[in-house]
Amino acid sequence: MSGHITLERIHDLVDGLVPASEEVRLRHHLESCSDCRGHFESIEATVRALGSLPDAARPPEAIWRAIEGRMDAGDAMDASSAPEPSEGARVVPLRVAARGPRRLSLTVSQLAAAAALVSLLSAAVVWKALGGGAVPGATTVATATEEGPSARVVALGETGYDEAVVQLETIVEQGRDVLSPETLATLEASLHTIDEAIAEVRTALESDPSSELLARLLANHQRSKLRVLRQAAASVQPRS
Amino acid sequence: MNERDDDPREEMGAAAVRRQAPVSTDAGAELGALVTRAQAGDARAFEALYRSTVERTYALCLRMCADADEAAELVQDAYVRAWRKLGSFRGDSLFTTWLYRLTVNLILQDRRSKGRRRARETSHGDLERFGQAACAAMPGTRVDLERAIAGLPRKAREVLVLRDVQGYKYDEIAQMTGVSLGTVKAQIHRARGLVKEALER
């Protein structure tokens, strides 16, 4: 093979997620490429170490006494056949920071204005995710489902989108202390709504993968999420 | 590539092997009998279930929260909830699978409800204290690795622990956390990188 193996594919290889035929090819490459082999061995060692950690810890004895007390105190067994704990999709919100010394309270319009400052930030990833250029290895919703060309135009590259989301969420997490709890709560609620919409469209796409309308809706919702995250990331960036 | 539930190739890591370690027939039958008695309201049987399973539940909570006090609260809540919901356990899965899944859901819910009141950053002192607590609770564990996990942003820590320590599949984690499979994978890949960097420091 020509070129290096992508980091994502190296993780897939470590996780055993690569088809057998491709695995042979990748492992052949690892034999001759010290860079890729180094990444692979490093990730594999980290994963192996994590998987070898003890999975038992001695709890404080007081825990059982507290549980027993709550059982006695009327936490009676609920036999009303509530569903077993296999809850479906739920949105993990961003955490709201404790009050700190440096906080801003921003309106939505202020957040939008601040977005301009993020132009250099994550620019490549976000640009690619928004269709500004080809993302190596990216698979669009459209091509993944073998849809027509018009749907291909609007669908976002999932890989680029995921990278952008993670990158922007990281920036927001790292700088969230500058935002007031109220602003963070608003941000969290907005992202929650968008995530629910994305999940709903994804479910619908599973039933109707050729729907151009659903592909457009998904792309629009994804753009909305990226826009909100970019605005938030711009707001928490330190001003130089 | 997409994962499939029936793809056996993913379940090759040490964590996955451990999570799917077979329960001996005797131990499984004993747990099953305890569950039946506890479902009938036998608190002593439930205590025996607690004693049989709490060390793993506590380890899960400890690593997911990186806070011994919070982990102890969550273990308490998890078993109280398990006691209350035991009537709905129909034996479709192992009791331990049901219990650990219930605990993970509780941890994720707890973060959402309490997140606003808690400080975000984990200080160096917090990590030192957590390292000591982890070593006391899990003698022989790698304190550098425990600190590296504890120092991750909470979301990254949760998905990493679920995947690489607990051995859940990517799609199971996506379902539990409510984010897309691609985002979960990206978060875990990033978390692995951060752990590696922390270990090299």
DSSP chain B: ----TT-GGGTTSHHHHHHTPPPPHHHHHHHHHHHHHHHTT-HHHHHHHHHHHHHHHHHHHHHHHS-HHHHHHHHHHHHHHHHHHGGG--SSS-HHHHHHHHHHHHHHHHHHHHGGGS--PPPHHHHHHHHHHHHHHSTT--HHHHHHHHTS-HHHHHHHIIIIIT---HHHHHHHHTS-HHHHHHHHHHHHHHHHHHHH-
Average pLDDT over residues A107-114: 44
Average pLDDT over residues B35-64: 95
Least confident of A167-171, A183-187, A213-217, B95-99: A183-187
State yes or no: pLDDT of A108 exceeds 50: no
Give the pLDDT confidence score for residue A91 in this predicted structure.
Answer: 28
Interface of B with A in 99-158 (CB under 8 A): 101-102, 105, 108, 111-112, 115-121, 134, 136-138, 140-142, 145-146, 149, 153-155
| B192: nearest CB among A47, A80, A82 | A47
> How many angstroms away from the CA of A55 is the closest CA of chain B?
6
Report the distance separating Cα B77 and Cα B113, nearest Å. Answer: 14
Of B155, B186, B75, B167, the closest CA to residue A91 belongs to: B155
Which of A28-32, A57-61, A121-125, B25-29 is least confident? A121-125
> Which structure tokens are listed for A28?
């052949």
Give the residue from chain A lying closest to B136, CA to CA.
A58
Residue-level pLDDT at B95: 94
Q: Which residues of B touch A12 (CB under 8 A)?
A: 1
At residue A100, does pLDDT exceed 70? no
Specify the pLDDT at position B165: 95
Over residues A6-39, the pLDDT tens digits come to 999 999 999 999 999 999 999 999 999 999 999 9
| More confident call, B154 vs A117 | B154
pLDDT at position A77 over 70: no
- Is it the case that residue B47 has pLDDT exceeding 80? yes
Question: What are the chain B neighbours of A173 within 8 Å (beta carbons)?
Answer: 120, 153, 155
**HEC secondary structure over chain A:** CCCCCCHHHHHHHHHCCCCHHHHHHHHHHHHHCHHHHHHHHHHHHHHHHHHCCCCCCCCCCHHHHHHHHHHHCCCCCCCCCCCCCCCCCCCCCCCCCCCCCCCECCCHHHHHHHHHHHCCCCHHHHHHHCCCCCCCCCCEHHHHCCCCHHHHHHCCEHHHHHHHHHHHHHHHHHHHHHECHHHHHHHHHHHHHHHHHHHHHHHHHHHCCCCHHHHHHHHHHHHHHHHHHHHHHHHHCCCC
**Residue B183, min C-alpha distance to chain A (Å):** 5
Provide the shortest C-alpha distance from residue B34 to chain A (in Å): 15
Nearest to B138 among A54, A60, A86 (CB): A54
Which token pair is A16?
A: 């055993």
Proportion of chain B above pLDDT 70, given as a percent: 81
CB environment A31-52: b (16+ within 10 A), e (fewer): eebeebbebbebbbebbebbbb
Kindly report which listed range (A19-28, A159-168, B1-10, B32-41) carries the lowest average pLDDT score. B1-10
Tell if the CB–CB gap between B14 and A51 is shorter than 8 Å.
Answer: yes
- The pLDDT mean for chain A works out to 68
B58–A contact, CB cutoff 8 A: yes
Q: Considering only residues A165 and B150, tell me which one the structure prediction assigns the higher pLDDT.
A: B150
Average pLDDT, chain B: 85
pLDDT cut 90: percent of chain A above it: 26
Q: Does B75 touch chain A (CB under 8 A)?
A: yes
- Nearest by CB to residue B15, choosing from A19, A51, A56, is A51
Contacts with A, B 17-56, CB within 8 Å = 17-18, 39, 41, 43, 46-47, 50-51, 54-56
CA atoms within 13 A on the CB side of A93: 21
This prediction has a pTM of: 0.61
Contact B18 A95 (CB under 8 A): no
